[in-house]
Structure 1
Amino acid sequence: MVPEPEFESYYGRPILKQPTWKTPDVPLYLFLGGLAGGSALLAEGAALTGRPELERVARLAAAGGAAAGTVALVHDLGRPERFLNMLRVFKPTSPLSVGSFILAPFSGLATAAAASHLTGRLPRLGRLAGLGAAAFGPPLATYTAALIANTAVPAWHEAHRELPFVFAGSGAQAAGGLAMMLVSTSEAGPARRMALAGAAIEILAAERVLGKGLVAEPYHVGRPGRMMKLARRATTVAAALTVVGGRSRVASALAGATYLSASLATRFGIFGAGLASAKDPKYVVIPQKERLARRAAAASATH
C-alpha cells in the first residue's frame, strides 16, 4: 500500500502568504456592501411605483450600509488616510482601486438621496442622487467578489466566475430581507420578490462553487463549512416562509431576518474558506499539477 502523499513546504510554512485582512471587518464589509447596493436598487424601484414606506427604509439601508461598510473598511486598513490615498489614482486593472471609486460616490449619492427623502428638501436632486446610487448599486454588491477572486487564494480564485453571482444573490436577499422586516406587507411586495430572486441566484451559484472538487473542500469543513451549511439551510427556510407566509406580518418579519442571517453567514463562510485554503499547500500544489497535466495532454493531442 502506498501511503497518501503529504504536501509540505520548506520548514512547514504555507506556500501562499495568507491575506492580512481582518475578521470580522472584511466579512462585514462584504455583507454591508451587498446590503447597501441591493437597497439602493430597491429604493429606486419603490420610488417609481409609489411606495413611500419601502422607499424610506431602503434609502436609509443604502446610506447606512455604505457608512457602516466604510467604517469596517477603514478599520481594516488601520488609518483613514489609507482609504483616501486609494482615491488619488484610478487603476482600472486593480479591483481595489475600482472598488474605492465605486464606494466613494455611492456613499455620497445614497446619503444625499436619504437626506432629501427624510427632509423633503431638494426632491429633484434627491431623485437624481437616488438614480446615481441605484446605478452604482450592482457594482458595489459584486466588485468585492472580483477583489477576492483576483488573488492566488485557491478557494477564491478557482470560483472567480461564480462568486459575483453568489455576492449579487446574497446582497439581493439581504436588502429584500431587511425591508421585509421593517415594511408593512402592503408595500413589501418588491422586497419579497427581490429576496426570492436573490435566494435562487445565490443557491445556484453557490452549488457550483461547492462542487469544484478539491479546492472547494474548505467550503465543506470546519467553521467555514458550518457557515456555508447554515447559509444554505437559512436561505431555503426563508424562501419557504416567503412563499407559504403570504401577507402574514409575522412570517414576513421572520423570513426577512432569516434572509439577513443567511447572507451574513455566506460572507463569513466564503471568507473563512479562502483563508483556510491559503494555509494548506495541497490546495496550491494539486490543482497546479492537474492544470499542467491537462495542458500537456492538450498539447500532445494537437500534434
Structure 2
Amino acid sequence: MTTSEFDAYRPPEKPRRRFGRRPGGRRRHGNLGTQPGGDGTREVPMVPDAEFVSYYGKPVVKPPPWEWPVALYLFVGGVAGGSGVIAAGAQLAGLDTLRRNARLGAMTAVGISGAALVADLGRPERFYNMLRTFKITSPMSVGSWILTGFSSGMGVAVANEVDRISGNRLPIGPVRPVLRAVEGPAGIGAGVFGPPLAGYTAALLSNTAVPTWNGAYKHLPFVFASSASLASGGLAMVTTPTSQTRPARTLAAIGCAADLVATKVMERQMDPVLVEPLHHGTPGKLLRWSERLVVAGGIGTLFAGRSRAVAVASGLALMTASAFTRFGVFEAGLESAKDPRYTIEPQKRRLAARRAAGITGDSITTA
C-alpha cells in the first residue's frame, strides 16, 4: 500500500463541538481517524511512507560471491594486456631493453592473473572446462580464450628472452632455432590480444545484473582500457631506463588523459542513483585517490625523460592509480547490489520514461 496527496489533507468541514458533556452527563467521543481534540482537518496518514525493502530483508539482486582475487584479476589483467602492446611496439621499434622488460612484466602479470582466477574458481580444472567450448555471448568464455591466446604468444616470446638472458645456455637444444623463428609472430600476436585482454573484464562486469556495473556498460570498457594503458606504461617506466621508455611514457600520458575523461563521461551518462556507490564509502575513497594519483603521475610523466627518479615515482603513482580504479569499481558494484534502492529507483525511472514516450503495449509497460 502507498500514500497519496489526499492522505494528509481533507476538505474543510463545518466547525464541530469540542469534547464535552451531552445533556444527561454522557461524554462525547471524537471522530475516528482524527487526533484527539481535532476537527477532522488534522488527520494523519494511516499507512507509513513506502521504504525500499525486500522480502525478508534480502537484496533484490544477489551480490556475486566474488572477493579480492577477482579485483586483483581485473588489475593485473590490464597490466598484462597493456604490457603486451608495449612489447610489440618495442619489438617493431628495435628497443630491446623495453621489449624484454615489457614481455617479462606481461608474463608475470599473466601468471598472477591466472592464479587469482583459479583461486576464485576454486579448482584449476574449472578453467580447463571453460576452454572446452566457445560462446560468443559469454564474456567469461571469450575472456578465457583471450587469456589463453595472449599467454601462448607471450610464453613463446618470454622463453626466447629468458634464453638470451642465460646466454643461450638453456638445455633446449634443437628447439632453440624454432623458438627464434616464431618469436616475432608470437610477440606480435600477443600484442594483438593485449587490448582485448585489458578491456574484456569491463564487459564481464557490466554483463551482470549488478546495478552500478550494469549502468556503466557503455563507458566502463573505455575506463578499463585507459587504466590499463597508464598502468602498463607506469610499469615500463619503473623497470626500464629512461632512454628507452619514450613509447611507454607516451602511452601513459595518453592513458592519463583518457582515464580522467572517460571516468567523468561515464558518471554523467549513468543514472544519478547508480553513481552514488562510486562516491561513497571505501569505493569513493579509492576512486578519489585514483584521480589524484593519475593527475600527479601524468604531470610527472611529462618530465620523466629527464630524471630516472621522477620516472620511477611517476610510474608507481600510475600503477597505484590503476589498481585503485579497478578495486574501487569492483567494490562499488558489490555495494550497489546490497541496497534495493539501487535496483528499484532506476527501474521506476526507466518505466516512467517509456510511458512518457508512449510505449505502453510491450511486455514491460502496460497501459
Q: Give TM-score scaled by structure 2 length.
A: 0.79
**Preserved CA contact (<8 Å) 2:81 2:228:** yes
**Preserved CA contact (<8 Å) 1:117 1:123:** no
Paired with 2:219 and 2:251, the residues of 1 have a C-alpha distance of 19
Per the alignment, in what secondary structure is the counterpart of residue 299 of structure 1? coil
The amino acid across from 2:162 in the alignment is: L
Comparing 240-249 with 275-284, greater Cα deviation is found at 240-249
Unaligned runs of 5+ in 1: none
| Stretches of 4+ aligned residues off by more than 3 angstroms | 1-5
Per-residue deviation, 1:112: 1.1
Q: Is 2:253 the counterpart of 1:196?
A: yes
For CA contacts below 8 A with separation 6 or more, give which structure has more relative contact order.
1
Per the alignment, in what secondary structure is the counterpart of residue 18 of structure 1? coil
Match of 2:31 in 1: none
Match of 2:267 in 1: 210
Paired with 1:278 and 1:208, the residues of 2 have a C-alpha distance of 23
Q: Is 2:239 the counterpart of 1:182?
A: yes
Match of 1:64 in 2: 108
Q: Deviations over 1:12-44 (max 9, x none)?
A: 110011101122x00110011110000011001
Q: Is 2:268 the counterpart of 1:224?
A: no
Q: 1:16 aligns with which of 27, 39, 61?
A: 61
Query: Counting helix residues as a fraction of each chain, which structure ranks higher?
Result: 1
Q: 1:118 aligns with which of 162, 173, 182?
A: 162
**Preserved CA contact (<8 Å) 2:226 2:259:** yes
Per-residue deviation, 1:260: 0.4
The amino acid across from 1:288 in the alignment is: Q
Structure 1 residues 276, 297: CA separation in 2 closer, same or farther (over 3 Å shift)?
A: same
Q: 2:138 aligns with which of 94, 107, 127?
A: 94
Paired with 1:300 and 1:96, the residues of 2 have a C-alpha distance of 34
Per the alignment, in what secondary structure is the counterpart of residue 102 of structure 1? helix
Match of 2:292 in 1: 233
Match of 1:32 in 2: 76
**Preserved CA contact (<8 Å) 1:209 1:216:** no
Q: Is 2:203 the counterpart of 1:146?
A: yes
Q: 1:254 aligns with which of 299, 302, 313?
A: 313
Per the alignment, in what secondary structure is the counterpart of residue 186 of structure 1? helix
The amino acid across from 1:279 in the alignment is: K
**Preserved CA contact (<8 Å) 2:242 2:304:** no
User: How many equivalent pairs are there?
Assistant: 300
The amino acid across from 1:58 in the alignment is: A
Per-residue deviation, 1:151: 0.7
Q: Is 2:134 the counterpart of 1:75?
A: no
Paired with 1:20 and 1:6, the residues of 2 have a C-alpha distance of 26
Q: Give TM-score scaled by structure 1 length.
A: 0.96
Match of 1:45 in 2: 89
The amino acid across from 2:306 in the alignment is: R
